[in-house]
Amino acid sequence: MFTVLVANPKGGAGKTTVATNLAAYLAGKRQRVVILDMDRQRSAARWLGRRPRGFPEVRGALPDTDPKIIRDYAPQWLIVDAPAGLHGHALAEMVKVADAVLVPVATSSFDFEATADFVSELTALKPVKDGKRALAIVGSKVDGRTIAASDLDAFLAPLSLDVLTHIRDSQLYVHAARDGLSIFDQPRSRAEDAWGDWPPILHWLQTAVAAKSHRP
């Protein structure tokens, strides 16, 4: 099982959007996927509750779910939607059991400041510092036509991390979430432009999986 921690200490950064769309993409590739919803708002769990039958299956878990239920399903992927405000010992413990950490960051100065502190804390953790945990940043809810998008790039530039892609600010995500779907459950004619933001994330994951397989 490969575990992806999707984390940012600030609410509204796009964690659940990234987690649910990533989970649905993997499920669409005939992978067994579980989303562990650690956030108090339970947005990912509610998304699963709205998910229609007939679409690729994503299973859900909560912090109090019996771990045996997850083990018996034998998922190939565990996507963890981390709680807002994650830091300190709780962050260290989550990173310890994750294989990769994906940090969405939205285009506001408040998000930049919170993310800068969070990244500093993350990169100081031994598994990350030793290169044993893949770590990357994704621009979230980005309108490429705005100054905010340029500000995001300027903020991310000095960080010694992979900045994978910008996920566009699109009502397609809003409408899909409302219906328990992802952009990858949408027809090509409607969602192809949005799909184009995701290949860098998927390539990063493939690289991280390969690195784990070669790890002693």
118-132 tens-digit pLDDT: 888 998 999 999 989
**Spatial contact of 212 and 99, defined as CB atoms under 8 Å apart:** yes
Looking at residue 86, what is its pLDDT? 87
CB 214 within 8 A of CB 52: no
Spell out the domain ranges in the chain.
2-213
What's the rounded Cα separation, in Å, for the pair 160 and 133?
14
Q: What is the pLDDT of residue 49?
A: 97
pLDDT < 70 regions, the chain: 108-109, 144-149, 160, 216
For residue 119, what pLDDT is reported?
86
**pLDDT value at residue 9:** 80
CATH superfamily, with its number, for domain 2-213: P-loop containing nucleotide triphosphate hydrolases (3.40.50.300)
Instruction: Report d(CA 176, CA 197) in Å as an integer.
Output: 16
At residue 156, the pLDDT reads 72
Quote the strand ranges of the chain, DSSP E.
2-6, 33-37, 59-61, 77-81, 100-106, 134-142, 162-168
Find out whether 194 and 168 touch, Cβ atoms under 8 Å: yes
